[in-house]
Amino acid sequence: MTITIAHPCPGYYITQPFGVNKAHYSKFGLEGHPGIDYATPAGTPLRSCYGGWIDTMAVSAAGYGLYVIVRHACFYSLYGHLDEFSIPVGQWVARDQVIALSGGSPGTDKAGNSTGPHLHFEIRPFIGGLAAFGGAIDPAPLIESPEHAGRPKALILCTYLNLRKGPTVNSPVVGAVKHGIIVTVLEEDHGWLRIDQPKKGWINKNFTQFIK
């Protein structure tokens, strides 16, 4: 996937990365851990990583406990071991909107297969997911860096948009960005936008659309 997602719980560290502990997850038919675990105390506010619709809210006693799935434009995000969730299925949620409180304390009816309070976070693309991990992929490379958090986002509208060295049509072309990619805008200058992913450069604002 070529998108950048928001951090579901900024400031909390990873306790279990994607793909590890194959022996433990083989009993679920997986090659390893299908997501990222964060050390969030029970009651920590959790944020939607991207704009989308609440697709599923359920309880899985043997796995995720209380969990929610959000459906986005080309992928699902899953938040497991929750303590509280009250947004109805079908409702739209914005990127960075608080959607749940974390849980995972053992012995509670919402904890599922949890040994301590934490958030289990997954990304499952509609196309291109890893079968060995239940259709999930590693979310870590997609999560925006702290310096990009809160900056405006723009959607690329044309098939290929030239990426230039400076904010002018006379500046050398240093690459291109494809249709459908969402970029973080670092600066705006007379109809040009400066970005640094997937590459550094300037793009013409006229061929983009700002999004939330």
- Give bridge partners of residue 69 from the DSSP assignment: 56, 78
Selected from 2.30.30.40, 3.30.450.20, 3.40.50.720, 1.10.287.70, the CATH number assigned to the domain covering 151-211 reads 2.30.30.40
User: What pLDDT score was predicted for residue 61?
Assistant: 76
Nearest to 197 by CA among 185, 211, 212, 179: 185
Would you kindly state where each structural domain of the chain is located, as residue ranges? 14-144, 151-211
Q: Which residue has the higher pLDDT, 197 or 108?
A: 108
Contact between residue 37 and residue 44 where contact means Cβ atoms under 8 Å apart: no
Residues in Cβ contact with 205 at an 8 Å cutoff, skipping those fewer than 6 apart: 154, 188, 191, 192, 193
d(CA 139, CA 1): 10
14-144 CATH, one of 2.70.70.10, 3.20.20.60, 3.40.50.10380, 3.30.70.1520: 2.70.70.10
Segment 74-85 mean pLDDT: 95
**81 near 100, Cβ under 8 Å?**
no
Going by pLDDT thresholds of 50, 70 and 90, the confidence category of residue 112 is confident
Confidence at residue 212, expressed as pLDDT on a 0 to 100 scale: 67
